[in-house]
Structure 1
């Protein structure tokens, strides 16, 4: 007996089918993990210079101002390319911009690897920032659109991938160090970006499929049905035009859509997601990104010892990152962020007040707990909150705007740490930066929206109930279009 084709009458049927899935398996799972693979590359690219920053500084004889510019430059570029990437994805779909981002990442890495001087390295970091800005806005939208509603908190898995990439960088750095390459070790770390980038580019070219949710939201039901047939391994067909349910409140004004996220029910969601994104970016890129340097200050300047110390810290990030979906499911993304920020605030206070006075084991535990509380709480939630709070044709654009705000936070964090450390010392820098998670925690406790604590789906938020078939007892997506079991 041949299974009847599933009729799609509109966006609600697409969403209802995806939400009915017990998990993210098959081709949908492959697309989901390939989107995460792109985020792995983004994290790998962002952290590649971190492990080799001290040797690079010596190798190129960089001043503190040049270090600050070099480390923050990609984030400044991402500020512009976050919304550009979101606009591209909302206008042209998810797949093409994701592929473009990988091409830019590979080009940027190759420029840095073979750069003869500081200026060419900056040019390479420009491409890296563009790739990061485009990719993150879109990949998170893809994850949201392939995830059933009951598994929303699983979007936080990207945070575990981030720290896996960071730890991979540190392990590779120690391997390159064993090759006795001296202070040019940073070129090898960046070269690994190109290798990973080419591999992920090839896989995404072969296996990515356009988001059916985006296609249906654009009223391209034939394309949505074809995409779902490929993804879910069963027949889908678009309903005849007379039976289709028109999309309500469709945004058709291009870049003007951005203004919608600052109005009505979206405004508090935007404030919450932006607060989490900015706060976590500042605290991570001001502290977490510089962990190899902080580790060197704690354990000495030997490359292996300081790298092992940074690796130990970041292993806690892997643990917290992959635990964050469970934490988000138990507490909700908002409360997980609020408690995480509060815990990070306490860790920075301890580092600021007692750094240099603590026993060695405590000096290891406190930065490790900083990373654990960051990755298990706000580290993942800013991007997840923005991906889950807006309807499909606004989602990537909203991710782009909120991601740009996060990139401002990242750029500020990367810029101020070396400058503050040189001006005020490490302990005072910790105390100054502790203000960030304190303020962010207060805002998170104050705003009540949480997409994991509501039955509202932003793609059908007009208040209309789920569409039913003629009998009223099944979702419309279960209504067979063609009964192929009959002769």
Structure 2
């Protein structure tokens, strides 16, 4: 019996085949979840110090300024490595930089585990920030390129993975606490990061396959056919050169490609994605990341009660994060972000006005709703918007630039919370921070672009900014041949 071989003439054929899939399964599903596994590691590494921040502060006798620097340093580093990671992925592909990021995460974790002073921990957090910056820009591009268009909103699943990682950290912190390790508990959380990083490194190195869309956009169609055969278990071959369809809007000027996202139809998309990314980063890392400390302020300083309170808050993040693909599909990523920001603004306003007067039950509900509205709305959408709004050879770079803006927001949030709390008190800190989601909500309601509410595919979009003189073409049906 003869098998059917599918002939690939260009990007359109790969997009047509991907979009015809009824699900994300087989090897494509493995790659999809491995990319999410890397994001789980990023969240785990970023939150590893959160639950143990109080014990670490006592253990190392840190000042408020040192705490602010320590907690925000990885995000400051990620500002540089977000665009570097995007540039690496757009130039050399998706797989090699993803694997490199895991190696950096392991180095950073080992340095922190065995650190005897503040300075060594800072060096370790440098590697963690580099890994985070590289990985997030690329992993989201991979998710976008392996997701059929009808399932675009599923990119938001990463948010549920984030809170799963945070809750796993908190549960492990309770386990380590039961071992009576005292104020060195933070070292055990970081050690768990190293274990996860090694496992994900091995799996990604063994099982990832290069993105066929990226290969085709780079006019490496023979390699794209090999990748498609490995991923989907069907036979693919590249069409003869004379039958191949020219690549539309090929950006050929290296780093200068990144300037394209600030031109033409891309500019409002960049503003929208950056607004969501920056706004959600500030509100999460200024409030959500510090939930163990906020929980201690609300429920008392006992480690177990404070950790259980933070765990309860973050369980709402798991629920909202895994619900966000459905919310995004029903309402669109833009409206989901706008409404989510508005709800977060209301929660911060309530915390700022009444957190010291609330009964215990209300003190538990309001931060939980903050996390629910954040994770179900803007928390996931900034990265999804940037991943779905640009063509393939710009996608990782755009994620890197917009991710760097988000890292600035994260670094600011991590930096200002301990300082504002010391200067103005907890209530006034909540009120000051409430301005962020309010402004972000207004911008989201004002810009109308939504990749889940359009039939435009950025990889064959006519009229997008370009450096080449390619002429538009009309995509055709995938051809088959009998070997």
TM-score normalized by the length of structure 2: 0.98
Q: What SS does structure 1 have at the residue aligned with 2:6?
A: strand
In structure 1, distance between residues paired with 2:48 and 2:16: 41
Q: Distance in 2 between matches of 1:403 and 1:265?
A: 20
Aligned to 2:16: 16
Cα RMSD, aligned residues only? 0.7
* Structure-1 separation of matches of 2:203 and 2:422: 44
Partner Cα distance (1:287, 1:355) in 2: 13
What does residue 277 of structure 1 align with?
A: 277
- Native 8 Å contact 1:82 1:134 kept in 2: yes
Alpha-carbon distance, 1:356 to partner? 1.5
Structure 2: how far apart are the matches of 1:238 and 1:268?
36
TM superposition score normalised by structure 1: 0.97
State the secondary structure of the residue aligned to 1:335: helix
* Deviations, residues 356-411 of structure 1 (Å, cap 9, x unaligned): 11111110000000000000000000000000000000000000000000000000
Residue 2 of structure 1 deviates from its aligned partner by 2.6
- C-alpha separation in 2, matches of 1:88 and 1:339: 35
Task: Name the residue aligned to 1:138.
Answer: 138
Q: Which residue of 2 aligns with 1:164?
A: 164
After superposition, what is the alpha-carbon deviation per residue over 1:145-186, rounded to whole angstroms, capped at 9, x for unaligned?
000000000000000000000000000000000000000000
Q: Distance in 2 between matches of 1:33 and 1:118?
A: 35
Q: Could you say which residue in structure 1 is the equivalent of 2:400? A: 400
Where 1:62 maps in the other structure, the secondary structure is coil
**Which residue of 1 is the match for residue 110 of structure 2?**
110
The equivalent of 1:389 in structure 2 is 389
1:467 aligns with 2:457: no
Query: How far apart, in 2, do the equivalents of 1:414 and 1:356 lie?
Result: 22
Aligned to 1:29: 29
| SS of corresponding position for 2:234 | coil
The separation in 2 between residues aligned to 1:457 and 1:220, in whole angstroms, is 20
The CA distance in 2 between the partners of 1:90 and 1:483, in whole Å, is: 34
Taking the aligned partners of 1:24 and 1:404, their CA distance within structure 2 comes to 29
For residues 60-102 of structure 1, the C-alpha deviation after alignment (integer angstroms, 9 at most, x for no partner) is: 0000000000000000000000000000000000000000000
Unaligned runs of 5+ in 2: 464-471
How many residues align? The count is 475
Determine the structure 2 residue equivalent to 1:312. Answer: 312
**Deviations, residues 440-482 of structure 1 (Å, cap 9, x unaligned):** 00000000000000000000001756522xxxxxx2x2x21x3
Give the whole-Å Cα distance in 2 for the aligned partners of 1:284 and 1:3: 52
What residue number does 2:215 align with? Answer: 215
Give 1:304 deviation, angstroms: 0.3
Q: CA deviation at 1:107?
A: 0.5
In 1, the alpha carbon distance for the partners of 2:248 and 2:375 equals 37
Alignment of 1:218-229 (within 5 A): 218-229=218-229
Q: For residue 193 of structure 2, what is the aligned residue in structure 1? A: 193
**Which residue does 2:6 correspond to in 1?**
6
How far apart are the structure 1 equivalents of 2:374 and 2:3?
A: 47
Residue-by-residue CA offset, 1:200-257 (whole Å, 9 max, x unaligned): 0000011000000000000100000000000000000000000000102100111101
Q: Retained in 2: the 8 A contact 1:295–1:309? A: yes
Q: Distance in 2 between matches of 1:444 and 1:465?
A: 33
1:483 is aligned to 482
Aligned counterparts of 1:100 and 1:251: Cα–Cα separation in 2: 25
Q: 1:294-309 alignment to 2 at 5 Å?
A: 294-309=294-309
CA deviation string 1:103-146 (max 9, x = no partner): 00000000000011100000000000000000000000000000
C-alpha deviations, 1:320-371, integer Å up to 9, x for none?
0000000000000000000000000000000000111111111000000000
Post-superposition offset of 1:3:
2.6
Corresponding residue for 2:151? 151
Local SS of the residue matching 1:413? helix
Describe the SS at the equivalent of 2:166. helix
Q: Which residue of the partner structure matches residue 62 of structure 2? A: 62
The residue aligned with 1:45 is 45
Distance 1:75 1:249 in 2: 33
Residues 78-93 of structure 1 correspond to what in structure 2 (within 5 A)? 78-93=78-93
Distance 1:431 1:356 in 2: 13
Give the corresponding residue for 2:344: 344
Alignment of 1:187-266 (within 5 A): 187-266=187-266
| Runs ≥4 residues deviating over 3 A | 463-466
Specify the SS of the correspondent of 2:231: helix
Answer whether contact 1:12 1:466 (CA < 8 A) is retained: no
